Structure 1
Amino acid sequence: MNHKDLDVWKRSMDLVEEIYKATSNFPSSEIYGLTNQLRRASVSIPSNIAEGAARKGNKELLYFINVAIGSVAEIETQLLIAVRLEYMNEDNTIFESAIEVRKLLLGFRNYLNKK
């Protein structure tokens, strides 16, 4: 399975780009804090999808998909923290993107579990 052909991988790559753009407006004092955490969690999603797809078998792929789902949960929490700290607005489309990626990951996991 080529991870680059997966819609969930493509959409998670878009999310990485959105996170990087959004965090570029965060205060410079956050470069080693929230900015770094959000960026690392976002990069983790497509990276785990790619690593799982490169492994042999659905059991290993499922493990990495679950890790990616955990990273989306981190992002959702960190984005809410950014809103509370007034670094961004809650109406930012990045929230919708994170939810979309989570739904795609859950759907992919369900598909793999049925195989």
Structure 2
Amino acid sequence: MALAVEIYQLTKSFPPDERFGMSSQMRRCATSIPANIAEGFGRESRQSFIQYLRIAQGSLKELETLSELARRVGLLGGDESEGVASKCTSLGKMLRSLIRKLEQKGR
């Protein structure tokens, strides 16, 4: 959730012509991550939860890519982009660890 809030704050400074472009896409990715984690958990099935965690990983990778692109086209500063990248890396590690633990439980 914290990453999604940060993305909303960062994209507020994007130019108005990016409202339906990069800003919208980054916000969708960022909100998709916690939404998929919650939806998967709510399914009350380990396999479903794992599947939704993998979907969250995909959204995270998409957000990483869009953040780098936003930096390259001048929408995000280097520090902002590095902060997002660092948080994405940390969250990615948490997701992978949780998936591994859930997979081990199923054996």
The 2-side partners of 1:58 and 1:41 are apart by 23
Alignment size in residue pairs:
103
The percentage of aligned residue pairs carrying the same residue is 34
Match of 1:106 in 2: 96
In 1, Cα distance between equivalents of 2:38 and 2:49 = 9
Q: Which residue of 2 aligns with 1:65?
A: 53
In the alignment, structure 2 segments of 5+ residues that lack a partner are none
CA RMSD of aligned residues (A): 0.8
Structure 1 stretches of 4+ with a deviation exceeding 6 A read none
Give TM-score scaled by structure 2 length. Answer: 0.92
Give the letter aligned to residue 66 of structure 2.
Answer: Q
More displaced, 83-92 or 46-55? 83-92
In structure 2, what is the Cα distance between the partners aligned to 1:28 and 1:98?
A: 26
> Could you state the TM-score of these two structures normalised by the residue count of structure 1?
0.86
Q: Per chain length, whose mean CA-contact separation is higher, i.e. which structure has more relative contact order (CA < 8 Å, sep 6+)?
A: 1
Contact 1:80 1:90 in 2 (8 A): no
Query: 2:85 matched to 1:95?
Result: yes
Deviations along 1:56-107, whole A, 9 cap, x unmatched?
2110000100000000000000001101111112332122111111111111
